[in-house]
């Protein structure tokens, strides 16, 4: 993501590295909205010399792993087993790991054999790890109690065998907030209880970093525990994570937005001198997603290059393309059709509170999006006076003509 290189994120990366290195056994939450550069920060962190020298890094994306198995726990075991399989035969012997790689690859297992519905997994899962967890399940089935402490001790001993001498394990989890809610919560619960350090457990051989969109994760937790009125998602997460590091969308919106535009335009671009005006004119909320903001700038530069106008208005054109890039559903379902505007305005004035069912109807979907409403007001299509919204008919027609013009060029 070029945005992360243009903007100064070095201090955030350094804080992340310092928190990972400060002691053994720590869970760190890297919190930021989608597109804010969390994944780029994780890659920068992993390439840091201190991390590369002192840690054996395990990267896991439960969202991508879900393409191979529907069970998030099995998917993580597969990732962990693959790390053991990467060891050489000499490493295998030196670290006193059980069996041989050949036996490991051929091992067929069923980790959920004590569950009501068995799910076999034949492949590269680590037999000793499976035996540990399956043993814990068997214990729970026969006695009604899981040998929790003993299971954690055995997992701890096994994890300590994976890194080289003098190294520690670093688990990096990304894209948890793109999973199904029930899978995300189940994986977080399972890994915390068996693989992650708990409170005051500083000698655990693994440190974890989780890159998460916090509002999404809190919504997942709310959905899973909605039957418990006293459930507090913040308290739940504070129990798991020792440190939270926030990734801001843009720390200085005006200055950094100008830097991004100038970096893309390059000196000599016909609108280079107007970069500040363009950056400040766009709706700030769009900057919350750096990935989306990058696509917006690319679309603007492509439009200005391919579709030069006799009387250019780069600020208005950038706002129109913001509407196209950030709110494509609004353009396709409402903006282009005169008959949809009265219903949209009436819904705005109804004051109806948001509900998840609104997302199913395009006339409701954008009612509570203040970013879109601000943009429409800046384009003078919608006005707000005396606590009521109204549409400007002439500006509405102008907007529809401009949007059809963009469509004629493929935008």
Please state, in angstroms and rounded to a whole number, the distance separating the CA atoms of residues 263 and 6: 7
List, in order, residues 6 or more apart from 18 with CB less than 8 Å away: none
Give me the helix-helix angle, 314-326 and 370-378, nearest 10°.
150
Please state, in angstroms and rounded to a whole number, the distance separating the CA atoms of residues 272 and 262: 6
- pLDDT single digits (tens) 268-285: 788 888 888 888 887 655
Cα-based distances in Å from 274 to 62, 262, 268, 297, 307: 43, 9, 12, 14, 18
State mean pLDDT over 299-316.
Answer: 83
What does pTM read for this prediction? 0.66
Structure tokens at 17: 């590295």
> What's the confidence (pLDDT) of residue 250?
60
- pLDDT single digits (tens) 313-361: 899 999 999 888 888 888 888 899 988 898 888 888 887 665 655 555 6
139 has a pLDDT exceeding 80: no
Structure tokens at 331: 């353009």
Please state, in angstroms and rounded to a whole number, the distance separating the CA atoms of residues 326 and 299: 11
Closest CA to 285 of 220, 361, 378: 378
Residue 44 is given by DSSP the state: H
State mean pLDDT over 251-269.
Answer: 75
Give me the helix-helix angle, 148-159 and 127-143, nearest 10°.
180
Q: Write down the mean pLDDT value for the chain.
A: 77
> What's the confidence (pLDDT) of residue 252?
55
> What's the confidence (pLDDT) of residue 7?
57
State mean pLDDT over 114-131.
Answer: 41
Q: Is 324 in contact with 403 (CB distance < 8 Å)?
A: yes
Q: In b/e form, how buried is each residue of 316-353, taking b as 16+ CB within 10 angstroms?
A: ebbbbbbbbbbbeebbebbbeeeeebeebeebbeeeee
CA 304: distance to chain centroid? 32
3 has a pLDDT exceeding 80: no
Confidence label for 102 from pLDDT (cuts 50, 70 and 90):
very low
Relative to beta strand 121-122, strand 108-109 is: antiparallel
> What's the confidence (pLDDT) of residue 356?
57
Strand partners, 56: 169
> What's the confidence (pLDDT) of residue 69?
67
Residue 228 is given by DSSP the state: -
Closest CA to 342 of 403, 397, 390: 390
State mean pLDDT over 84-107.
Answer: 54
Please state, in angstroms and rounded to a whole number, the distance separating the CA atoms of residues 329 and 326: 9
Please state, in angstroms and rounded to a whole number, the distance separating the CA atoms of residues 97 and 350: 66
The residue assigned the tokens 């890297």 is: 30
Q: Is 244 in contact with 29 (CB distance < 8 Å)?
A: yes
399 has a pLDDT exceeding 90: yes
Structure tokens at 40: 């780029």
């Amino acid at each position: 993501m070029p945005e992360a290189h243009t903007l100064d994120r070095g201090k955030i990366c350094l804080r992340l590295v310092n928190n990972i290195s400060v002691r053994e056994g720590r869970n760190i939450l890297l919190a930021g909205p989608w597109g804010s550069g969390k994944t780029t920060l994780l890659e920068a962190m992993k390439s840091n010399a201190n991390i590369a020298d002192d840690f054996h890094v395990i990267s896991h994306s439960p969202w991508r792993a879900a393409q191979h198995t529907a069970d998030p726990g099995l998917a993580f075991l597969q990732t962990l087993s693959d790390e053991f399989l990467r060891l050489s035969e000499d490493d295998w012997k030196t670290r006193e790991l059980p069996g041989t790689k050949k036996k490991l690859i051929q091992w067929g297992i069923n980790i959920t054999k004590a569950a009501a519905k068995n799910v076999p997994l034949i492949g590269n899962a680590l037999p000793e790890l499976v035996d540990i967890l399956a043993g814990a399940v068997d214990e729970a089935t026969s006695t009604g109690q899981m040998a929790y402490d003993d299971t954690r001790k055995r997992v701890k001993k096994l994890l300590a065998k994976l890194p080289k001498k003098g190294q520690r394990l670093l688990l990096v989890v990304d894209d948890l907030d793109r999973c199904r809610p029930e899978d995300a919560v189940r994986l977080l619960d399972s890994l915390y209880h068996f693989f992650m350090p708990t409170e005051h457990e500083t000698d655990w051989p693994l440190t974890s970093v989780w890159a998460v969109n916090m509002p999404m994760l809190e919504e997942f937790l709310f959905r899973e525990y909605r039957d418990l009125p006293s459930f507090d998602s913040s308290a739940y997460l504070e129990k798991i994570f020792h440190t939270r590091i926030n990734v801001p969308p843009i720390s200085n919106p005006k200055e950094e937005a100008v830097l991004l535009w100038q970096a893309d335009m390059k000196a000599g671009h016909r609108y280079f001198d107007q970069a500040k005006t363009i950056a400040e004119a766009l709706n700030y909320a769009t900057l919350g997603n750096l990935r989306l903001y990058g696509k917006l700038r690319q679309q603007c530069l492509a439009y200005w290059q391919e579709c030069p106008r006799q009387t250019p208005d780069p600020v208005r054109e950038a706002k129109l393309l913001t509407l196209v890039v950030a709110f494509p559903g609004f353009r396709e379902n409402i903006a282009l059709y005169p008959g949809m505007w009265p219903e949209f305005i009436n819904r705005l004035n109804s004051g109806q509170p948001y509900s998840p069912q609104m997302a199913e109807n395009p006339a409701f979907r954008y009612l509570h999006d203040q970013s879109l409403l601000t943009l429409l007001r800046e384009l003078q299509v919608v006005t707000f006076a005396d606590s009521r919204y109204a549409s400007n008919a002439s500006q509405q027609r102008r907007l529809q003509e401009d949007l059809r013009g963009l469509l004629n060029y493929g935008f």
